[in-house]
Copies of this chain bind each other. A is one copy, B any other.
Amino acid sequence: MNFDPQSLRYDSNGLIPVIAQDHLSQEVLMMAWMNAESVAQTLATGKVTYWSRSRQAFWVKGETSGHVQRMVELRVDCDRDCLLALVDQVGPACHTNRRSCFYTAVRDGEEVEIMAPMAD
């Protein structure tokens, strides 16, 4: 079946959550949002392109930082309301310069930082 971005289930803002996972290490890097047009752009260009809710604009990941995400494979969940993007991530995915945004663990009721920022 042909994949049509319009066939996904978007929320009331026209957005769908996207989980970015390193295609080799399988580390979960970040979660962000796309609209139908950014899904289409991502597939057309191979550059993961989110929709920035704060800026209300397309967000070609890494366009300014150089920390681009090349799309390796897009996956759709059973309810068609969440996407998993297997990506090739250059450098840190997180704006804090860490490889992943999920660098805080909850251990014995305490928040523990488990990942340092990457060296430049």
Contacts and interface: CB of A to CB of B under 8 A. Distances in A.
Interface residues of A, number: 37
B26 A27 contact: yes
A110 interface: yes
A60 interface: no
Given A76-B104, A79-B101, A104-B76, A109 B3 contact: yes
A4 B63 CA distance: 35
A105 B27 contact: no
A82 B109 CA distance: 18
A44 B82 CA distance: 28
A10 interface: no
24 contacts: A1-B110, A3-B109, A17-B31, A28-B28, A28-B84, A30-B77, A43-B106, A43-B109, A73-B105, A74-B105, A75-B102, A75-B103, A76-B102, A76-B104, A76-B105, A76-B106, A76-B111, A77-B104, A78-B96, A78-B103, A79-B101, A82-B101, A82-B102, A84-B102
Interface of A: 1-3, 17, 19, 21, 25-28, 30-31, 43, 73-79, 82, 84, 94-96, 98, 101-107, 109-111, 114
